[in-house]
Amino acid sequence: MTSSHRNRGHKEMRRAVRLRKQRSEKWQREGERPVWRNLSMIGALGWLIVTPTLLGVLLGRWLDRVFETGILFSGALILLGVVIGSYLAWQRINKE
């Protein structure tokens, strides 16, 4: 292992420890989040995943009908919608 890999590993570890400490301090200051806020986060995450997936379904079905390709576009765009939705949900979770 080279020194640059070790340095990068140390930087990542320091960042993770700092983030954990900040979250712990915030929790001690503010306490646990209310149940309603957790429920609203679950709902928002659901919509973040479902919306791009449904858009993929609609666009894929339309393209399949226009080009008479069976389910080629539907399958690809559903998968793309799930990937985009999961990425958006991941970003939202990391922001909280």
Sketch the domain layout of the chain as residue ranges: 1-32, 34-96
CA atoms lying within 13 Å on the CB side of residue 66: 8
Q: For residue range 38-87, list pLDDT tens digits in order.
A: 889 899 999 999 999 999 999 999 999 999 999 999 999 999 999 999 99
Does position 1 have pLDDT exceeding 60, yes or no? no
- Asked if 59 contacts 75 with a C-beta cutoff of 8 angstroms, the reply is no
Note the pLDDT of residue 8.
Answer: 83
pLDDT of residue 27 exceeding 90, the answer is no
> Tell me, what's the pLDDT at 51?
97
